[in-house]
Structure 1
Amino acid sequence: MKKTLIYVGLAVLAMAVIIAVVKVNKSNSKPVKKYKTEQLKKMNIVNKVVATGKVIPLEEVEIKPQISGIIDKVYLEEGAIVKTGDLIATVKVVPNEQSLQSARGRINSVQIQLSNAKTQYDRNKALFDKGVISSQQFEASQLSYNQAKNDLRNANNDYQIIKRGSAGSGGANTNIRATASGMVVEIPVKKGYQVIQANNFNAGTTIATIADMKKMIFEGKVDEAEVGKLKMGMDLDITVGAIEEEKFPAKLNFIAPKGVEESGAIQFKVKGDIRIDSVKQMVRAGYSANASIIIEKKDSILSIREALLQYDKESKKPYVEILVNKEEGKFENKDVELGVSDGINVEIISGITKDDEIKVWNKENKKDKKKDD
């Protein structure tokens, strides 16, 4: 009985050894996983910041009415070229009834004063001619009479201004004229629109906007992560969406000191003067545009794709895996020093040479996994 148990135990042990040997042989027979490799290449790398925005005129002048009323006629259309003093529109005055009645009452009051002053003047003149009163008394009555006539004239003018918008026949207040030369880029009113003059409580209604279309600027926004890299005077390459295959050179001349939050991110306004002298096509106000601001540029430098980089979990230093044994598929970690980057490619300053083969992390195929299993 004991011998039988011994034989059974030996048989089980032998089977276990055989299974272990088979597994080892099977594992040793697995093919070596192969990875693609890349080497350093000479590239031109440009590190730049892209700002999105629009093209607008450097100077825009809003034309406001000098008096409230209703637009009677608009003489120009958007796109018209005007000079200072050109007539843009006319306004028909709609008088305030209370102000009108007050002006009428003032006229009546001044007329009474004038009648009384005239009576005194006529009486004193007759007495002065007879030598009854002194010249001083006569001149005082004459002064009162002249002041009363002047007051009546002013009261009538005030009444006409309230009623018609002008005291004379020229209609200076009702004629809306250009206060600057340029192109009319916007006329937001039409005949029949009610307009309000500018005052202490209201900016007034804009009749037209005039701009010099030969002086344009780019106005855009840059994220807070990039604004620290910008400096005044940097070169900009402006690309306008509506004008294909055309780049406009510009200079960065403004960086906002305060950011504005938009969709959870802080954005800073930037501006740049655009040179459009050589552009044949008209650059219209409000075109959407992108500005490329070159931070750093290097030509023909040894670089790799940033996708090949890895970072140490503890030190956070960058490294790559270098092939050291092709037959066994062994790789070795090499720390690298990085230079300029454009987000896709990065300069390698030191750590590896142009002959080193850098590991490319391939995705394993499902067929390979099944074969390994």
Structure 2
Amino acid sequence: MKKYIKIALLVVLALIFIGTFVFLYQKSQPKETIYDVLTAEKDTLVQTTVATGKIEPRDEVLIKPQISGIIAEVYKEAGQKIKKGEVIAKVKVIPELGSLNAAESRVRLAEMNGRQAETDLQRMEKLYKGKLVSSEEYEKTLLTTQQAREELQAAKDNLEIVKEGITKNSASFSSTLIRSTIDGLILDVPIKVGNSVIMSNTFNDGTTIATVADMGDLIFRGNVDETEVGRIHEGIPVKITLGALQNMQFDATLEYISPKSTENNGANQFEIKAAIQVPDSVTIRSGYSANAEMELQRADNVVAIAESAIEFENDSAFVYVLTDSVPVQKFERRSVTTGISNGIKIEIKKGLNAGEQVRGLKKGE
């Protein structure tokens, strides 16, 4: 019985030894590497660049007062459409004391001169009817009286302007009524009733009463890096995508490239503008962030493969062309000349034909 047990143990040990030897042998053998195989095909490649920026109206006008004072009424608010000439707000004039005193004094003086001129005219009329004075003297007196009347009216108008900012004779042209200068949409009304406002002058831009813009004529304004600005030009098509309307894309045309760069985070960039075509059914608000995609290069009906299949070495490019797949994959290294790339595929100008298969990444990578 013991003899059989020993024989069984020896058999088990022998099997373990043989199994271990086979396992180690198999592990020591090099594994066959299998690659994905890619086929070169005819394709159209487009190289693009993306500029970031914002959407804004082409014409955005700041409405400012023609006089200084205090806002008495505000008739419009942001978001309302407005026509040229419509009143946005009314300004109440706060007269300056020195100007008010001077205007009142001018009126008093004009009244005195006017009364004296009227008296002189009455006397002259009696003398003229009695043929005691010449027609020339009478006409001079009449002219002096008319001038006195005009001066009195002008003095009264000036006093009204100083006190109220308006005269009764020119109420329709009042500078106290702040009107829109264009048709459009009111984007902002930064003032409230009671706010002080000042007119534009040499030393001050003046208070903005409202911002009005034509939202039917929108542009994209953004920046392009100096490494790419040389490959774009006015008139090329642009595709605009908005952060607020991500599922929509708008056609645009590049119409302006700045001749001067600006520095942004250490990089030289050039401002660009593109006119956007917006359907009437879509509402776009001023200030939307946007991306503008522009075509830099294009290659139609060229041989192309995935860029991952290219091996770059110094200034040269190579591919591994499949020569056999049975029993194992075999590849031949071949020099190629590349063209433009769209980031996924690359153009092969020379060295590879459509339909040929090349080595891609390893299986599982």
With the length of structure 1 as denominator, give the TM-score of the two structures. Answer: 0.79
Aligned length: 334
Q: Distance in 1 between matches of 2:144 and 2:151?
A: 10
**Which deviates further from its counterpart, 39-48 or 252-261?**
39-48
Match of 2:317 in 1: 318
- Deviation per CA, 1:42-90: give whole Å up to 9, x if none: 3553211211111112222322222111111111121112222222111
Match of 1:125 in 2: 125
The aligned amino acid for 1:105 is S
* Structural mapping, 1:177-192, within 5 Å: 177-192=179-194
The aligned amino acid for 1:317 is S
Query: Displacement, 1:289?
Result: 0.8
SS of 1:153 mapped into structure 2: helix
In structure 2, relative to structure 1, the CA distance for the partners of 1:261 and 1:159 (3 Å cut) is same
Contact (CA 8 Å) 1:339, 1:347: kept in 2 or not?
yes
Q: Distance in 1 between matches of 2:235 and 2:313?
A: 39
Q: Distance in 1 between matches of 2:87 and 2:328?
A: 88
Of 228, 251, 266 in structure 1, the residue corresponding to residue 253 of structure 2 is 251
The structure whose residues are more often strand, as a share, is 2
The aligned amino acid for 2:205 is A
**Which deviates further from its counterpart, 302-311 or 217-226?**
302-311
> Runs of 5+ in structure 1 lacking a partner?
1-28, 365-373
Q: Distance in 1 between matches of 2:40 and 2:301?
A: 9
**Which deviates further from its counterpart, 351-360 or 333-342?**
351-360
Are positions 1:92 and 2:92 aligned together?
yes
Match of 2:228 in 1: 226
> Runs of 5+ in structure 2 lacking a partner?
1-27
* Structural mapping, 1:1-373, within 5 Å: 31=30, 34=33, 36=35, 38-42=37-41, 44-168=44-168, 170=171, 172-277=174-279, 280-298=281-299, 301-313=302-314, 316-320=315-319, 334-353=334-353, 355=356, 357-358=358-359, 360=361
Identity of aligned residues (%): 37
- Deviation per CA, 1:236-289: give whole Å up to 9, x if none: 111111113111111111111112111111111111221112x52311111111
Contact (CA 8 Å) 1:237, 1:292: kept in 2 or not?
yes
With the length of structure 2 as denominator, give the TM-score of the two structures. Answer: 0.80
**Which deviates further from its counterpart, 127-136 or 36-45?**
36-45
Contact (CA 8 Å) 2:323, 2:332: kept in 1 or not?
yes
Q: Distance in 2 between matches of 1:318 and 1:290?
A: 33
Query: Displacement, 1:126?
Result: 3.1
SS of 2:347 mapped into structure 1: strand
SS of 1:335 mapped into structure 2: strand
Q: Distance in 2 between matches of 1:165 and 1:220?
A: 44
Contact (CA 8 Å) 2:117, 2:144: kept in 1 or not?
yes
Query: Displacement, 1:40?
Result: 4.2
- Deviation per CA, 1:163-201: give whole Å up to 9, x if none: 101011737211122222222122121111221223344
The aligned amino acid for 2:208 is T
Query: Displacement, 1:224?
Result: 0.9
Root-mean-square deviation (CA, aligned residues, Å) is 3.1
